[in-house]
Structure 1
Amino acid sequence: MTRHVVVLAGGLSHERDVSLRSGSRLLDALQDRGLEVTQRDSDGELLGWLTATRPDAAIVVLHGSRGENGSIQSILEMIGIPYVGSVASSCRLSYEKNIAKNLVRRSGFATPDWIALSHSTFRDLGAGALMDLLVAHLGLPLMVKPQHGGSALGAASVRTAEELPAALVGAFAYGEIALVEQFIEGTEVAVTVLDTPDGAAALPAVEIVPRSGVFDYESRYTAGLTTYYTPARLPDEVGTAVSELALGAHRTLGLRDVSRTDAVVAPDGTVLFLEVNVSPGLTETSLLPMSVLAAGRDLGGVYAELVEHAVRRGV
């Protein structure tokens, strides 16, 4: 029997265009595997369509809050449609970057020191004094990013104290809370973890070398602005540590099926956790497909297997 899969892509987040590109690529890959695939947006007609059509499984390729904070997963659970990806409660933990960093650190892994502050705190206590305190406490350089969301939207590196106000304004444009963390000069890597019948497995790490020195939105989605190496050019022991971190984050946060952990390797070889993504991008410049290819797999095959696992598992 041919499986009918719905790929949920689009939504009204700032990452809508990336999500649509991811969904389109996955649709083609699954159709090449012989599955019946429908791509649907997250809109006012979705609930009625899901209830009437009842596809065999759903794959959430919504980026940002629409696909990563657990809301759409909760809806699928209520309707009773199996889906590929982490359960709603684990999505919520991962979506809160501050909470994810806390939990991963408590599990014994390193992560850059950070402070999460709300926009209202800056208004109430005085922006100037707080910014001086941040620099004194964390030092420079810094990375400033929104507590929620992905694709590096609203994120900026800060190398001088004078750059901090603009970086905070940029982060607060995407949400009430900004996360300010130490910027680690090192090798940035991304590791995809897949659940298999034999347990979770880390795929080859992707090394990220942006021409600008910062892996921002433009560097992520503009061809030619970033060079990628898969597998990453790391000593064997560091490569093992990178995989262990990704697997540890996957387990610690209770993730399922597929996740992507972003990390940085410091000059002394220390591997530090940055964040985790429960709905990784699947575009032509996205990192998960590079890992899949380096592992000798293809995107359609991987997700077709995850669909079968989801159907057998049920909601």
Structure 2
Amino acid sequence: MPDKSKTIAVICGGLSPEADVSRLSASRITPCLEEHYGNVVHLELDATLGEQLIAHQVDVAFPVAHGPYGEDGRLQGLLDIMGVPYVGSGALASACSLDKVVTKRLLQPSGITMAKDRVVYRNESHEDAALDCIETLGHKVIIKPSGQGSGIGVQFAMGYEDLMGKLKTGLQMDDKLLVEEFITGREITAGVLHMDDYQVLPVTEITTPDGAWYDYVHRYTPGLSDHVIPARISDEQYRKVQEIALKAHQTLGCQDLSRSDFIVPETGEPVFAELNNLPGMTPTSLFPDGARHAGIPFDALICKLVDQALKRGENMRNGREYWPIPKLDIHQPL
């Protein structure tokens, strides 16, 4: 039951390329929070955030600051230091999840099927790296910034010359790029809602009316993408997607919610692509749609997440037993 006495801070914006999308998420969840809780404040992810959290005596934060700074553990670390409970994964899980390379390396020992890849760094020879990518990954590849979401900066390359040019462009923006073999299949996603127990949401297939890649514009423009629930894949693939989404959530140490993306070929194993540890809440976002098809209306979803964070805060304030620490006599002369 929502507590009307609580002050909820919706944190959005910041320096990320996804700042405008995060404000869109904030504008969608705010009316719900205002209806069910006593006081809701919008706070920008900027240098005044700490002061604002204190001034408003915030009881719980709902971060929707997608991408770098808001989703990579930095915001979460600040909230931890200030003792403000918040919705979503902690600092370590957030940092690992936003970095696509780290995510893949942590999940590989679990036997999860993933595309073959090569990480290319700014300080290495672009020519040698491009040649190595072509030899190990094939002539058609996908190039991804390691620490961005929403398809920002993703490029496709065909052949050596094309790849060379796109690596040079990408490495002007980022220190490292993840280059993967190109895999053909359906774009699939599955969310995990992590309350007292784990619930894997219905598997969603993403389609675009013009057959285009599901890029930034298609993600956030109403009418430029469709969510097909349940996804049109085999029963075995469906089960496997849900199994991997849960395993990824648990292995990376996520809490509250996450959404894992896949490419699922016509036959065979689903190929894990990445995990989103702070899924969007915009009108075209995938996680709320999956929750709705699981019988969880949007308002109920938002309240569940806030109440879970408040509960964590109560546990923090009540304190927990920890390993016994020997007492030190710090006044002894050296």
If the length of structure 1 is used for normalisation, what is the TM-score?
0.93
1:93-137 Cα distance to aligned partner (Å, 9 max, x none): 11221111111121121110111111121xxx2x22321221111
Q: How big is the shift at 1:168?
A: 2.2
Give the alignment partner of residue 89 of structure 1, picking from 82, 88, 92.
Answer: 92
Q: Secondary structure at the match of 1:267?
A: coil
Match of 1:24 in 2: 27
State which of 75, 79, 92 in structure 2 corresponds to 1:76: 79
1:106 matched to 2:93? The reply is no
SS of structure 1 residue aligned to 2:55: helix
Give the Å deviation of 1:35: 4.9
Task: Indicate if the aligned counterparts of 2:152 and 2:216 stay in contact, CA closer than 8 A.
Answer: yes
Partner of 1:159: 158
Partner of 1:53: 56
C-alpha separation between the residues in 1 aligned to 2:259 and 2:173? 22
Alignment of 1:138-287 (within 5 A): 138-197=137-196, 199-210=197-208, 211-287=210-286
Give the match's secondary structure for 1:120: coil
Report the CA distance between 1:287 and its aligned residue.
1.0
**Whole-angstrom CA distance in 2 between matches of 1:170 and 1:240:** 39
Shift of the alpha carbon at 1:163? 2.7
Alpha-carbon distance in structure 2 between the residues aligned to 1:226 and 1:165: 31
Q: Distance in 2 between matches of 1:302 and 1:52?
A: 28
2:331 alignment partner in structure 1: none
> 1:37 is matched by which residue type in structure 2?
V
Distance (whole Å) between structure 1 residues aligned to residue 113 and residue 92 of structure 2: 24
CA distance in structure 2 between the partners assigned to 1:230 and 1:29 by the alignment: 24
| SS of 2:69 mapped into structure 1 | helix
Structure 1 position 14 matched with structure 2 position 12: no
1:65 aligned partner, one-letter code: P
CA displacement at 1:170 relative to structure 2: 4.4
Equivalent residue letter for 1:187: R
Q: Deviations over 1:63-95 (max 9, x none)?
A: 111211101101111111111111101111112
What SS class does the counterpart of residue 70 from structure 2 fall into? helix
Amino acid at match of 2:305: L
Q: Does 1:37 align with 2:40?
A: yes
What residue ranges of structure 1 are gaps of 5+ in the alignment? none
Mark the CA change 1:235 to 1:268 in structure 2 (over 3 Å): closer, same or farther.
closer
Alpha-carbon contact 2:263-2:270 (below 8 Å) kept: yes
- C-alpha separation in 1, matches of 2:284 and 2:90: 27
Where 1:66 maps in the other structure, the secondary structure is coil
SS at match of 2:123: helix
1:54–1:81 Cα contact (<8 Å) kept: no
RMSD: 1.6
Question: Would you say the 8 A contact 1:155–1:167 is kept in 2?
Answer: no
TM-score for both structures, normalised by structure 2: 0.88
The letter of the residue matching 2:75 is I
Identify the match of residue 69 of structure 2 among 59, 66, 72.
66
Correspondence for 2:321: none
| Structure 2: gaps spanning 5 or more residues | 317-334
| SS of structure 2 residue aligned to 1:112 | coil
Distance 1:131 1:16, change over 3 A: same
- Contact conserved, 2:187 with 2:262, CA < 8 A, in 1? yes
Q: Is the 8 A contact 1:156 1:167 kept in 2?
A: yes
Contact map agreement 1:154 1:173 (CA 8 A) in 2: no
Secondary structure of 2:111 counterpart: coil
Match of residue 320 from structure 2: none
C-alpha distance 170-64 of structure 1, shift in aligned 2 (>3 A): farther
Change (3 A) 1:194 1:35: farther
Q: Percent identity?
A: 35
Per the TM alignment, residue 288 of structure 1 is displaced from its structure 2 partner at its CA by 1.1
Change (3 A) 1:44 1:35: same
Separation in 1 of the partners of 2:98 and 2:235?
A: 31
**Secondary structure of the equivalent of 1:67?**
coil
Q: Is the 8 A contact 1:33 1:301 kept in 2?
A: no
CA contact (8 A) 1:190 1:262 kept: yes
Larger Rg: 2
Number of positions where the alignment pairs a residue of Structure 1 with one of Structure 2: 310
